[in-house]
Structure 1
């Protein structure tokens, strides 16, 4: 019998996923004590205080204390135009060996807040040259871009040329001690750092039941899982995140709320549905473990979870993002999509809506592997923000979270 995550961790309310007695838990979010899962709070400025000396007459104006200067993040937020703010929320796909002329034009004109190396790159030296070009094209108001790669290991390793170690699959990494995996992840992260890459879109936190491994196209068939139990997966996720963080590399635990129980791969198939996972599932513990270990982002899948929100894919679901990620897990940092640019699962959704629906649901960074769609997505975000004050507030909150993440990794220059 599976026990809910929260019962395992806290003997209290649900965390995310499915109930241990087989019944579906309530849909309302539960609260996890911050001592169990840390939260990342948005920066705020305390209000100016008012003081009055004892000898001051009632008719005199009170003496005002100096107003606190805006934080670096707020300064940058105010300096960016609405379109530049929207650009911060799009991670544009480029070739790992460097931008094509068309990709360079998109990154420069749209000021993409991040780029994603979508095809296998060359050597460490050539990757470093490519990332320098990205920084030149995308930096705006002293805010440099996130530069990301899928550097999991095994069949999913974008950067394989000279200077990059060949990384074993997660199924192998999962057999190592935590200390060995942390040390190895730190070494792999150091290579990424030297190449100018600052984000590893890893680790996979999905749990693939042993009985489904051969049928699970996105994870099991590619040996991307750390284990077939929440405990095994969580141990690998924790060690990997900690190693990458020591190297100064941001990570993203993925693919919430899990791809371990589906059969189709959303990159190539549409209509992929998980009809098992419910809120409070023990298999979601590795995501909580990744947050506790210090991950920088939580990636949300494009699958539909019929027992959580049958009307929306996870990336468009307020229940998943606001209710589960931000509510149940207590995560207030950056939430990022799985690819919604070239993935077959979202082809039926207009490109602009892929961005606006995600941000409206509470998400932040949109991964778009098709650079030709970036301008459409940015324009859609701008138009929606101009027409809808509530959405505009969501967009501002998302940009603030992204800028805070960038500041944490030295990508924001103030002064």
Structure 2
């Protein structure tokens, strides 16, 4: 009897505690609304509780506000006569140009040049990169009373670094004073002594800082900060180097460097300029068969994307050499010159021929509309242009 009572007591305890002996677990009852509240309230997926997205930065806001034709326009730098730049105003407005290259030579005073540049900038939907070739020696766009003649790079490169720095800084301040914000300089090409003046594009005009790439690299490290600290962005040219060619790409076809490789010591001045923070790099229109046997540098993905972007690590603005009047590219239509350059990884197409704006813009738009990967490349290129404008202090926020 005592054993029966004990067994009954155990059974009652098991029933109360919810334990079973082999039977399926009973369903869990829903919690009572009268239950004590949890110490930590459950996470809510209500949109109102999600944190707000971070605000967009100025550059992203500006890019997002641009439609496709406006983005494509940022990829174009068109030539305008340096003494009458406002004549390009209609093209600037119609194609939303990202930049203008002041071509030719001028002996005008600074005030006159400043007035013309300001008038041109007023025509632009967005402030533009305004570029000149103010290297020194034989290549000097501005030679008026307010722009003293500059020594050649070869002469400056053979002198003290302090002179090179001071000369560069003074020249850049004069450019900034008239509204120029980008110099298509310095030349980072190395011309070996075995070729010297036999190199038509560079050596013949003493545009190189020296015949030793280490010495050229040292000069580039001086020039880049001297110019950019004075308010004018620099452009390292002509990647991956024109110092060993025997043909000038401006006036002839067939310029070829049969020596250059991806590990070429002559790349060191470009690397030095990139490490020094140069805003831009210009791509040559010569051939480099050991790097890419199939295309000139301006149309070469292995050179622009593979070597410059990925191997060397440059993430700034990539500009073409002239793709308008240069003899090296005349076998390709202007429209396809622009498309091939951008597809290879380039950002800003430079042409001194104003009439090229229409076919180049049209071809870039058409390709972007039919090819999503190319559209992404256009967006990336436009961002690089806007980043350069931000560095120049001219990027507006909408």
- Structure 1 length-normalised TM: 0.84
Answer with 293-302 or 117-126: which moved more.
117-126
CA–CA separation in structure 2 for the residues paired with 1:377 and 1:56: 60
Structure 1 spans left out of the alignment, 5+ residues? 1-52
- Residue in 2 that maps onto 1:119: 104
* 1:7-406 alignment, distance < 5 Å: 55-57=40-42, 61=46, 63-99=49-85, 101=87, 103-121=88-106, 122-138=108-124, 140=125, 143-406=126-389
C-alpha distance in structure 1 between counterparts of 2:141 and 2:181, whole Å = 14
Is 1:92–1:370's contact at 8 Å kept on the other side of the alignment? yes
Aligned alpha-carbon RMSD (Å): 1.5
User: For residues 230-268 of structure 1, what are the alpha-carbon distances to aligned partners after superposition, in whole Å with 9 as ceiling and x for unaligned?
Assistant: 111111111111110111100000000000010111000
- C-alpha distance after superposition, 1:127-153 (max 9, x if no partner): 111210221112x2xx31000000000
Contact residue 111 and residue 137 of structure 1 kept, 8 A: no
CA distance in 1 between counterparts of 2:273 and 2:44 reads 58
* SS of aligned partner of 1:255: strand
TM-aligned CA deviation for residue 67 of structure 1: 0.5
Question: Offset of 1:55 from its aligned partner?
Answer: 2.2
Q: Is the 8 A contact 1:351 1:377 kept in 2?
A: yes
8 Å contact from structure 1 (residues 73, 407) kept in 2 = yes
CA deviation map 1:154-190 (0-9, x unaligned): 0000011121121100011102222221121110000
d(CA) in 2 for partners of 1:166 and 1:64? Answer: 62
Give the Cα separation in 2 of the matches to 1:60 and 1:214.
Answer: 72
Deviations 1:342-367 (A, max 9, x none): 10100111101111111111110111
- For residues 14-41 of structure 1, give each alpha carbon's deviation from its aligned partner in whole angstroms, at most 9, with x where no partner exists: xxxxxxxxxxxxxxxxxxxxxxxxxxxx
Task: Assess if the C-alpha contact under 8 Å between 1:123 and 1:159 holds in 2.
Answer: no
Structure 2: which 5+ residue stretches go unaligned?
A: 1-37
Deviation at 1:56, TM superposition (A): 2.8
Deviation at 1:58, TM superposition (A): 5.5
Equivalent pairs, count: 359
Q: 1:388 to 1:194 in 2, by over 3 A?
A: same
- SS of structure 1 residue aligned to 2:237: strand
Deviant stretches of 4+, over 6 Å:
none
Partner SS, residue 94 of structure 1: strand
Report the Cα distance in structure 1 between the residues aligned to 2:145 and 2:93, rounded to whole angstroms.
Answer: 29
Shift in CA distance, 348/68, structure 1 to aligned 2, threshold 3 Å: same
State whether structure 2 residue 398 is matched by structure 1 residue 412: no
Matches of 1:363 and 1:318 in 2, distance apart? Answer: 9
* 2:187–2:207 contact (8 Å) kept in structure 1: yes
**1:76 is paired with a residue of what secondary structure?**
helix
Q: CA deviation at 1:61?
A: 3.3
Structure exhibiting the larger radius of gyration computed from Cα positions: 2
- The structural deviation recorded for 1:80 is 1.3
Change over 3 Å in CA distance of 1:377–1:389 after alignment to 2: same
**Which secondary structure does the structure 1 equivalent of 2:294 belong to?**
coil
Q: Distance in 1 between matches of 2:43 and 2:209?
A: 69
Q: 3-state DSSP class of the match of 1:310?
A: strand
Q: Distance in 1 between matches of 2:39 and 2:300?
A: 56
C-alpha separation in 1, matches of 2:136 and 2:352: 20
Distance 2:236 2:268 in 1: 12
Relative distance call for 1:297 and 1:58 in structure 2 (3 A) is closer
